[in-house]
Amino acid sequence: MAVRTAVVVGAGIGGLAVAGALARSGWQVTLLEQADRVRPEPTAVVLWPNGVRALRALGLGAGLDAVATPLPDGGIRRPDGHWLVQPRATPPERTPVVVHQEDLHDAFVAGLGDRVDLRTGVTVRTVRTGGNGRPWVGDGHQQHEADLIVAADGVESVIRRQLAPEAGVVASGSATWRAVIPWYRAPRIPADQPLGGEILGAGYRFVSASLGDRGSAGGTARGGVYWVATAAGAPRPEPAETQLGLLRRWFAGWPAPVDALLAATEPADLVQQEVRELRPLPRQYAFRSGPGGVVLLGDAAHAMPPHLGQGACLAFEDAATLQSLLREARLPDAVTGYDRTRRPRVAAVVRQTRRMSAVLQTRGRLALRARDAALGPITTRLLGSAASSAAQWRPPASSA
**Given this model, what pLDDT does residue 377 score?**
53
pLDDT band at 107 (very low <50, low <70, confident <90, very high): very high
What's the Cα-to-Cα distance from 316 to each of 176, 223, 324, 381, rounded to whole Å?
22, 24, 12, 25
**Given this model, what pLDDT does residue 399 score?**
39
Q: What is the spatial distance between Cα 300 and Cα 207, in angstroms, rounded to a whole number? A: 26
Q: What is the pLDDT of residues 181-236, one digit of tens each?
A: 999 999 998 877 778 889 988 788 999 999 988 765 444 458 999 999 999 889 99
**Given this model, what pLDDT does residue 222 score?**
81
- Say which DSSP state 80 is in: T
- Answer yes or no: are the C-beta atoms of 206 and 258 closer than 8 Å: yes
- Answer yes or no: are the C-beta atoms of 319 and 14 closer than 8 Å: yes
- pLDDT at 105 exceeding the cut of 90: yes
> Helix (H, G, I), strand (E, B), or coil: what is residue 292?
strand
Q: What is the pLDDT of residues 329-375, one digit of tens each?
A: 899 999 999 999 999 999 999 988 887 776 665 555 555 555 455 55
Q: What is the pLDDT of residues 259-298, one digit of tens each?
A: 999 999 999 999 999 999 999 999 999 999 999 999 999 9
Enumerate domains of the chain plus CATH numbers. 5-66+99-170+277-360+378-391 (3.50.50.60)
- Say which DSSP state 309 is in: S
**In the chain, % of residues over pLDDT 70:** 89
- pLDDT at 63 exceeding the cut of 60: yes
Crossing angle (nearest 10°) for helices 311-328 and 331-360? 160
